[in-house]
Structure 1
Amino acid sequence: MESPLALYRRYRPETFAEVIGQEHVTEPLRAALAGNRVNHAYLFSGPRGCGKTTSARILARSLNCEQAPVADPCGECESCRDLARGGSGSIDVIEIDAASHGGVDDARELREKAFFAPVKSRYKVYIIDEAHMVTTQGFNALLKLVEEPPPHLRFIFATTEPDKVIPTIRSRTHHYPFRLIPPRLLSSYLSELCEREGVSIEPAALPLVVRAGAGSARDTLSVLDQLLGGAGPDGVTYDLASGLLGYTPDTLLDDVVDAFAAGDGASVFGVMDKVIETGQDPRRFTEDLLRRLRDLVIVSAVPDAPATGLIDVSADQGERLVAQAARFGRAELTRAADLVAAGLTEMRGATAPRLLLELICARVLLPAADHGTDGVLARLDRLERRMAITPPTQELPVPPAAPAAPAAPAPSTVEAATPEPEPVVEREPAQEPVVEPAPAPPSPAASAPTAPTAPTEPAAPGAMSLVEVRRLWPDVIAATQRKRRVTWIHLTQNSQVVGFDGTTLTLGFNNAGARNSFEGGSSDVLQEAIREVVGAEWRIETIIDPGATADAPVPPPRSEPVPVPPEPEPEPEPPAPRRPRMADIQAASAEPEVVHDPDAAVDRDDADVDAESGADLLVRELGAQVIEEIPHQ
């Protein structure tokens, strides 16, 4: 049993009405055929596989149809049957491949045979394919014949490079440029062919087939033919298409884009490792990533692009693109696309494409290292997104504490938003942390009307995801450093964020001692820092997670010029010490010397840092265990 013909041969158009995507060529040709105004020579140019040779055969078929002049061949006469899709061919329609018959001797032979009349048709038609391969001498040998052919002769040149056809030949022909077929038109055409073949194809696989065909009908049908041959009972699936065609799965692209949005370097380089481990080509992955960023840039500018067909993607993928674009700023997306595009150019001929791919990702993750316009705009996008996360009523949890203590000091009155105590805040900035974090002390009469609203207002930012919380976590840790150093130590050395459900933040501690010490008084400090940075009221839960590691180190807070290192450096000594004089001693006793204290920002009344032995402090705060104490005499 013979195998069936290839798809592009079985479905080759037989009339101009069946040619897709070339209406700008087929309609004028049909009008010329119907009006009997056909020229003696034509030049069809355009990319490969877009219908040049097929249109030339249809034109020859229409010219020799017994019902001519007619726009489309009838398909019933002998000439139409001979030139049909499965016909034997006509002796009066000669196809020449100029790639192997483009010399001057071949041109002379053609010129000698051209003067003979057709055997049984109205016209003798020469279809010269790959006409740009004809040598200059061969074109010169044909020039006189093409310029003044006998009445029964017609020429049709087909080429992908019309500029290589000498101008004297081009000027004697009617030039029709063919174009690549639009993706949406190809997608609908492929769906129709699959229905004819009785094979199902997933909507998500169609864009991959169209992309592999690159706008060429013949190449696209060849790719579809390959997928149909390897399809199983489920038909052509997305996994089958992406695997056979070598494209990056959408899951990898989604992971790396989400990691870029969250600034999660560990996840980004984890995806890079998975790309290499699964055998993906780094260059192809970079190209697919650039295409995804291009789609996100378009969706960011036109949110309904997937729905209107501006981007040819499936419905579920369109929803993912809209969600991903909302997590970026336009400047940030444009900068990432520019970096990936520049890196893809550098990958050509590179001996270490994986290294270049990782460097590209590192540049995308570090907009702060880019001091150009793109880097500044990317950082502004991140700040705007962070401000958009904070609701406009972020200070609502604080006012219920005001009626609870009417005789409280100035900070509580200031938090009640009264205009008179504002100067008090400027004179006493150190008293700001004194504000009570919870409205438990107020009387029942005062707290009753505000009890239901206090937990619901902070729930507005509860839509934040765990990735967004981790992105803001360094700022929260920096806020705790200014409030309580022990809390800052716990958060940076003993714990990490392990969960967030919108209202409850879960911290994992690597030992029970650190967890118990944190719950002893640091939880309130953390909640206060969260209100300051995020503007939300979150409940703090702690668990013991032996595998927990400290989050990324936090840089020193930008708003406080005084750092708090583990061992503060002493003030520089005068360059040349001298013996004290009696006047200096008397002046020192009269006016105490002002010494800079690096721990000035730390609360001196903190019960967790009171004077006690080093061993007791380590056991209580860090969960340490004293194994043995060796006395030294």
Structure 2
Amino acid sequence: MESPLALYRRYRPETFAEVIGQEHVTEPLRAALANNRVNHAYLFSGPRGCGKTTSARILARALNCELAPVADPCGECDSCRDMARGGPGSIDVIEIDAASHGGVDDARDLREKAFFAPVRSRYKVYIIDEAHMVSSQGFNALLKLVEEPPPHLRFIFATTEPEKVLPTIRSRTHHYPFRLIPPRLLSAYLSDLCEKEGVPIEPAALPLVVRAGAGSARDTLSVLDQLMGGAGSEGVTHQLATGLLGYTPDNLLDEVVDAFAAGDGATVFGVVDKVIETGQDPRRFAEDLLRRLRDLVIVAAVPDAPATGLIDVSEDQGERLVAQAARFGGVELSRAADLVASGLTEMRGATAPRLLLELVCARVLLPGADHSTDGLLARLDRLERRVAIAGAPATVNPSVAAPPPAAVEPPPTTSTAPPPVREEPPAAQQQPVVVPTPAPEAPAPTGPPPTTSVASAPATTGPAAGLALVDVRRLWPDIVEATKLRRRVAWIHLTQNAQVLSVEGNVLTLGFNTVGARDSFLSGGCDEILRQAAIEVVGADWKIDTLVDPAAQAPTSPPPEAVTPAPPATQPATQPATQPATQPAPAAAPDPGSAEPVAASPAAPDGPPDWARDEPARQTDPVAVAAAREAIQQTRPTGSAPDGAPEARSPVADDDVSHPDDPDLDTDGLDTTELLKRELGAEIIDEIPHS
């Protein structure tokens, strides 16, 4: 039993009505045939496999039909049966492949035979395929014959490169340019062929076949023939088409696009690793990703593009595209497509395509590092989408939603009596004078303070209460950054030890890499800091749930040592100081046994303190400088207190003891001068020698 012919041969059109996608050519030809106004020479040009040679055969068949002049051949006469699909061919219709018969000798042989009359038909028709391969000498040999042929002779030139045809030949023909077949029309045509062949095909596989054919009917039918030959009982599936044609699976494209939208670099580079490990071509992946981004750009501009057929995708994939485009913005999608397109150009001929692919993905993930106009617009678009996703929060007490600014306490005020005369320490031990810069006081509210709190009023309204996991991951960097402004310890935990696992309703679940990190996060009240930051950024009042993530479990390590609390301020500190003089030493607690009492701090005045109002004069006043030096010497961790009193000890002299008023104090290894500059905004000036 013989194997059947290829699909493109079994279903080759026999009339102009069967030619698809070339109505701009077939309709004028049918009109010329019906009106008996056929020219002596034609030039058919266009991409390969779009119907040039087939149309030339149909034209020759119609010319020699016994019913001519007629628009379509009858199919009943001897000439029509000879030129039919699978027929033996006609002796009066000669097809010449110019790729192998384009020399001057072939042209001379054709010229000699062309003057003989046809054997059985009305016309002798020469179909010269790949006409651009005819040499200049060959065209020159045919020039006179094409210009003034005998009445029984017709020429049809077919070529993919009409500009290479000799201009003198091209000017003597009627030129009909063929085009690529539209994808939607080709998809419908393939569905009909599959029904005729009795082979089922999944709707998601049709766009892949059409894409592989690139608009060529012959190439598309060859691809479909290959898939039909390898199909099982379930027919042509999407998985079969993806595997045989080498395209990136849709699930990988969905995964990487969702990761780009959420800013999830781990997932993006994980997809790249899957592409390499499964043996796929990085260039093909970049091409498929660019095509997906192009579809998303169109969907972002025209949301109903999948339904109207503006993009040729299946129904379920169209729904996914609409959802993915909603997570992006138009500017960010356009910027990502430009980056991938540039990277794809650089990957051609590259020796390390994976490296270039990873660099392209890194640039797409970092719109904040792009200082160009596109990068700025992408960041602005991201902010607008965050507002659209999160919605406007309900009325929240500002004093609860945002922490109050740290109050700057005035230095302890000594008694009004003149300071006692003290022996000056050596010049090497003199400390610089610290001049804190007071923060401006906030204006008093004109109305009564609001009484609504976060606990009593709902924190979210509208879409903010129903954020999906991908939305939370996209907004997560901004939420974490907001915690940094409130408490650095919470920010460190979230950036180094935790990740978002899920969000269900108003419950946000975080996964920690160790038990110790989770316990430290909860015991330090960082969950409340995170909740307030989420209210500020997205307007969502989440309940923070924590657990140890098995996927990120770190090697077991001994729990951190407990932090010894600082002694109360009312107890005397009698232990000798062990820290060097460069450690910060706040004012010591008053010692009951000291011979020199310390006056209690007065109540805060209504206006700025005297030392703040008289700051310009105090910076150069020797008396003020001496008083400031006196206050600093009283809090030094080394030396003895006056009159033999026990030595004053700072509550933060040891690194392992935290100040009770500042549980998040972190010196970061800075000395006294740098720490005062960073924490208090103090201006350090050199000490003025006291005469």
Tell me whether the two structures share a fold, i.e. TM-score over 0.5: yes
Residues 204, 361 of structure 1: alpha-carbon distance in 2 compared, 3 angstrom cutoff: same
In the alignment, the residues of structure 2 paired with residue 116 and residue 487 of structure 1 have an alpha-carbon distance, to the nearest angstrom, of: 96
Q: Distance in 1 between matches of 2:51 and 2:192?
A: 19
Q: Contact conserved, 2:390 with 2:467, CA < 8 A, in 1?
A: no
Q: Hey, what's the Cα distance between the residues in 2 that align with 1:234 and 1:593? A: 92
Residue pairs, 1:337-352, within 5 angstroms: 337-352=337-352
Match of 2:142 in 1: 142
Give the structure 1 partner of residue 455 of structure 2: 438
Task: State the shift of 1:463 in Å.
Answer: 2.4
1:5-32, Cα deviation, whole Å (9 max, x unpaired): 0001101111111111111111111111
Q: 1:363 deviation in Å?
A: 0.9
The residue that corresponds to 1:125 in the other structure is: 125
**Deviation of the 1:547 alpha carbon:** 5.1
With over 3 angstroms needed to count, the CA separation of the structure-2 counterparts of 1:543 and 1:433, relative to structure 1, is farther
Structure 1 433/483 Cα, relative in aligned 2: closer, same or farther at 3 Å? Answer: farther
SS at match of 2:327: coil
Q: What CA deviation, in whole Å up to 9, does each residue of 1:543-599 have, x standing for no partner?
A: 23465479xxxxxxxxxxxxxxxxxx989xxxxxxxxxxx9874334357999xxxx
| Cα-to-partner distance string for 1:409-430 (whole Å, 9 max, x where unaligned) | x99xxxxxxxxxxx995469xx
In structure 1, C-alpha distance between the alignment counterparts of 2:455 and 2:540, rounded to whole Å: 13
Q: Secondary structure at the match of 1:341?
A: helix
Aligned residue number for residue 355 of structure 1: 355
- For 1:492-503, list aligned pairs within 5 A: 492-503=495-506
Structure number having the greater helix percentage = 1
> Which residue identity lines up with residue 10 of structure 1 in the other structure?
R
Larger radius of gyration: 2
Cα distance 1:279–1:471, how it changes in 2: closer, same or farther (>3 A)?
same
User: Is 1:505–1:540's contact at 8 Å kept on the other side of the alignment?
Assistant: yes
CA distance 1:336–1:52, shift in 2 (3 Å)? same
Contact 1:35 1:69 in 2 (8 A): yes
In structure 2, C-alpha distance between the alignment counterparts of 1:306 and 1:544, rounded to whole Å: 43
> Cα deviations across residues 258-316 of structure 1 (Å, max 9, x unaligned)?
11111111111111000000111011111111111111111111111110000000001
Q: Which whole-Å CA distance do the structure 1 matches of 2:630 and 2:72 have between them? A: 106
Report the Cα offset of residue 112 of structure 1. 0.9
CA–CA separation in structure 2 for the residues paired with 1:221 and 1:183: 13
Once the two structures are overlaid, the 10-residue window that deviates more, 512-521 or 245-254, is 512-521
Aligned pair 1:262/2:267, yes or no?
no
Report SS of the residue matched to 1:326.
helix
Which of 504, 510, 529 is equivalent to 1:525?
529
Deviates more, 1:464-473 or 1:26-35: 464-473
SS of alignment partner, residue 221 of structure 1: helix
- SS at 1:497 equivalent: strand
Contact 2:186-2:217 at 8 Å conserved across structures:
yes
Distance in 2 separating the partners of 1:594 and 1:505: 49
**Residue of structure 2 in register with 1:21 after alignment:** 21
Partners of 1:488 and 1:433 lie apart in 2 by 29
Q: Structure 1 residues 142, 518: CA separation in 2 closer, same or farther (over 3 Å shift)?
A: closer
**One-letter code of the match for 1:253?**
L
Distance change (3 Å), C-alpha of 1:9 and 1:547: closer
Measured after TM superposition, the shift of residue 495 of structure 1 is 3.3
Shift of 1:86: 1.4
Equivalence for 1:598: none
Which residue number corresponds to residue 590 of structure 1? 627
Q: How does 1:425-574 map to 2 (within 5 A)?
A: 426=443, 437-439=454-456, 454=458, 457-458=460-461, 460-520=463-523, 521-545=525-549, 548=552
Q: Which residue of 1 aligns with 2:395?
A: 396
Note closer, same or farther for the CA distance 1:12–1:321 as it changes in structure 2 (3 Å cut).
same
**Which residue number corresponds to residue 194 of structure 1?**
194
Alignment of 1:51-200 (within 5 A): 51-200=51-200
Aligned residue identity for 1:304: D
CA distance in 1, matches of 2:377, 2:63: 63
Equivalent in the alignment of 1:379: 379
Write the distance in 2 (CA, Å) between the matches of 1:341 and 1:255. Answer: 19
Q: Distance in 2 between matches of 1:511 and 1:119?
A: 93
Q: Is the 8 A contact 1:437 1:527 kept in 2?
A: no
- Take 1:358 and 1:463, find their aligned partners in 2: how far apart are those partners? 33
Equivalences for 1:404-443 in 2 at 5 Å? 426=443, 437-439=454-456
Q: 3-state SS of the aligned residue for 2:155?
A: strand
Matched residue of 1:42: which SS?
A: strand
| Aligned CA distance change for structure 1 residues 126 and 593 (closer, same or farther; 3 Å) | farther
1:270-309 matches, cutoff 5 A: 270-309=270-309
**Residues 1:40 and 1:464: Cα distance change in structure 2 (over 3 Å):** same
Residues 21-44 of structure 1 show CA distances to partners (whole Å, capped at 9, x for unaligned) of 111111111111111111111111
1:47 and 2:84 correspond: no
CA 461–124 in structure 1, closer or farther in 2 if over 3 Å, else same:
same
Letter in 2 for 1:180: L
Counterpart-to-counterpart distance in 1, 2:104 and 2:536: 85
Q: Is the 8 A contact 1:103 1:135 kept in 2?
A: yes
1:593 to 1:295, Cα distance in 2 relative to 1, 3 A: farther
Q: Which residue of 1 aligns with 2:422?
A: none
Paired residues of 1:180 and 1:215 also in contact (CA < 8 A): yes
- Say if 1:471 and 1:88 are closer, same or farther in 2 by CA, change over 3 A: closer
- Cα distance in 2 for residues equivalent to 1:486 and 1:370: 29
Shift of 1:168: 1.2
Determine if contact 1:433/1:483 at 8 Å carries over to the other structure.
Answer: no
Aligned-pair CA distance for 1:368: 1.9
CA–CA distance in structure 1, aligned partners of residues 545 and 538 of structure 2 = 18
**Matching residue's letter, 2:395:** L
Paired residue total: 542
Q: CA deviation at 1:485?
A: 4.4
- Pairwise CA RMSD: 3.1
Against the structure 1 CA distance between its residues 508 and 157, is the aligned structure 2 distance closer, same or farther, given a 3 Å change threshold?
A: closer
Letter in 2 for 1:540: I
Q: Which amino acid aligns with 1:466?
A: L
Unmatched 5+ residue regions in structure 2? 406-439, 555-581, 585-619, 633-650, 665-691
2:335 matched to 1:331?
no
| Separation (CA, whole Å) in 2 of partners of 1:252 and 1:52 | 39
Q: CA deviation at 1:517?
A: 4.5
Compute the displacement of 1:357 (Å): 0.6
- Over residues 355-389 of structure 1, what are the superposed CA-to-partner deviations in whole Å (9 max), with x where a residue is unaligned? 11111111111112221111111111111111222
Say if 1:397 and 1:537, in contact at 8 Å, map to a contact too.
no
Match of 1:214 in 2: 214
Q: Unmatched 5+ residue regions in structure 1?
A: 403-409, 412-422, 440-449, 551-568, 572-582, 596-609, 623-633
Q: Distance in 1 between matches of 2:95 and 2:108?
A: 16
TM-score where L is the length of structure 2: 0.73
> Secondary structure of the equivalent of 2:181?
coil
Distance 1:540 1:37, change over 3 A: same
- Corresponding letter in the other structure for 2:535: R
Q: Distance in 2 between matches of 1:44 and 1:485?
A: 74
Q: Deviation at 1:183?
A: 0.7
Query: Matches of 2:482 and 2:24 in 1, distance apart?
Result: 66
Identity of aligned residues (%): 76
TM (norm. structure 1) is: 0.80
Q: 1:40 to 1:193 in 2, by over 3 A?
A: same
Q: CA separation in 2, counterparts of 1:272 and 1:525?
A: 36
Change (3 A) 1:368 1:517: closer
Q: Does the CA-based 8 Å contact 1:46-1:177 persist in structure 2?
A: yes
Relative to structure 1, the CA distance from residue 506 to residue 82 in structure 2 (aligned partners, 3 Å threshold; closer, same or farther) is same
Cα distance change on mapping 1:614 and 1:511 into 2, 3 Å: farther
How far residue 173 of structure 1 moved from its aligned partner, in angstroms, is 1.1
Three-state SS of the structure 2 residue aligned to 1:333 is helix
